[in-house]
Amino acid sequence: MPELPEVETVRIGLQQLLPGRVVASVDHDWPKSFPNAEADVQQFLIGASVVEVRRRAKVLLIDLSSQYTLVVHLKMTGQMVFRSQAERFGAGHPNESLVGELPDRSTRVTLTFVDGSKLFFNDQRKFGWVRLLPTTEVMNLDFFKKVGPEPLSADFDWHQLMERLQRRKNTNIKAALLDQTVVAGIGNIYADESLWSAKIHPTTLVRGVKPAQFHKLYDALVAVLRMAIEKGGSTDRNYVSAEGKRGSYLTFASVFRREGQACPRCGTTIIKTRVAGRGTHTCPVCQKPLSE
DNA sequence: CACTTGACCTGTCCGC
DNA sequence: TGCGGACAGGTCAAGT
């Protein structure tokens, strides 16, 4: 579901669509999806224009001219879908959007801009949220104080990845990769894909992983994340871009959601197990169950 | 402190 | 067909 590549794809789309638009109104009917008080909404959201759309880890940051920021976490089933005035009312089909008429029954928050365009926050399972914070306070959120480095940043290298993973030396490598305080943005899909690529079994204890394997894992992780962004992310069930389009990475995935199919490297049947409480996909031959 | 499990939610699918 | 339960999996809180 939305991991770094999906959130980055949404960010790229919103950055093309939103800057300069002025907020006219906001609608929301589920308090946990948008917890801000009405007074703050009136003072710092209504009338403000969008300046820039950023991302940190799996979180979207929509900076406003009011020096406030809309902080958005999509969690499992969140979507941020933009519709122009023309797309909402014009004749014919808006685009090849995967989602239909909006709002729909999973719409939790709707931002309406003065030009008649709208931004919909849809979230079937209600785990995600949108909240308005002063821009200077965003990085003081507990999550941001603890979250690890961006894996695609220029100064992140395999030594750093190894050292940070080794802070969790008694747990398995998959749990460590999923730990957002170790490295930011990795979720279930890209953990499985990068571990397969590096030929590391997900239950391998971190203390048993050798330096050369950490190096391979770093290369695999960066390659997988870059390709996933290029493909517009992975659409398993819910995920869509800001334009409402699917991502195509799963077409290229090696193991994720491919149980029963042949490993692209050796032809062995891919199996699905449970590791770190998550569905986990491995090749039982390429990824040896035990490291020594 | 290190680590694991359950809760938060809804929709879908599977077996009886 | 209907119904209970498992499952999907990001993050935080609570448990061991």
The model's pLDDT over A241-273, given as tens digits with 9 standing for 90+, comes to 999 999 999 999 999 999 999 999 999 999 999
A167 residue type, one letter: R
Q: How many residues does chain A have?
A: 292
**pLDDT at residue number A95:** 56
Q: Which of A58, A168, A231, A246 is catalytic?
A: A58
Neighbours of A16 (CB within 10 A): 12
* Percent of chain A predicted with pLDDT > 70: 97
The model's pLDDT over A38-61, given as tens digits with 9 standing for 90+, comes to 999 999 999 999 999 999 999 999
Helix axes A211-230, A158-165, angle to 10 degrees: 110
Straight-line distance from CA A93 to C1' C12, in Å? 41
Confirm whether A168 is a catalytic residue: no
Q: Six-digit token pair at A164?
A: 């940070």
Q: Which nucleotide is nearest to A176 (CA to C1')?
A: B3
Q: Is the CB of A124 under 7 A from strand B?
A: yes
Positions in chain A whose pLDDT score sits under 50: 91-93, 291-292
**pLDDT at residue number A92:** 47
Q: Which nucleotide is nearest to A106 (CA to C1')?
A: B10
The model's pLDDT over A74-98, given as tens digits with 9 standing for 90+, comes to 999 999 999 999 888 864 445 567 7
Mean of all residue pLDDT scores within chain A: 93
Confirm whether A58 is a catalytic residue: yes
Q: Indicate if the alpha-carbon torsion angle A20, A25, A28, A32 is positive or negative.
A: positive
Q: Is the CB of A33 under 7 A from strand B?
A: no
> If you measure CA to C1', which residue is closest to nucleotide B12?
A237
Q: Which nucleotide is nearest to A280 (CA to C1')?
A: C9
Q: List CB-based contacts (under 7 A) with strand C.
A: A 1-3, 57-59, 73, 75-76, 125, 127, 142-143, 146, 178, 180, 187-189, 236, 272, 274, 278-279
For residue A92, the Cα-to-chain-centroid distance in whole angstroms is 31
Straight-line distance from CA A278 to C1' C6, in Å? 13
Q: What is the pTM of this model?
A: 0.95
Q: How far apart are CA A28 and CA A280, in angstroms?
A: 36
Q: Which of residues 259-278 of A touch strand B (CB under 7 A)?
A: 276-277
Straight-line distance from CA A277 to C1' B4, in Å? 9
Straight-line distance from CA A75 to C1' C15, in Å? 24
C-alpha dist (Å) from residue A39 to A36, A132, A221, A250: 8, 12, 44, 43
Straight-line distance from CA A91 to C1' C11, in Å? 42
SS3 per residue for A205-221: EHHHCCHHHHHHHHHHH
Q: Which of residues 175-194 of A touch strand B (CB under 7 A)?
A: 175
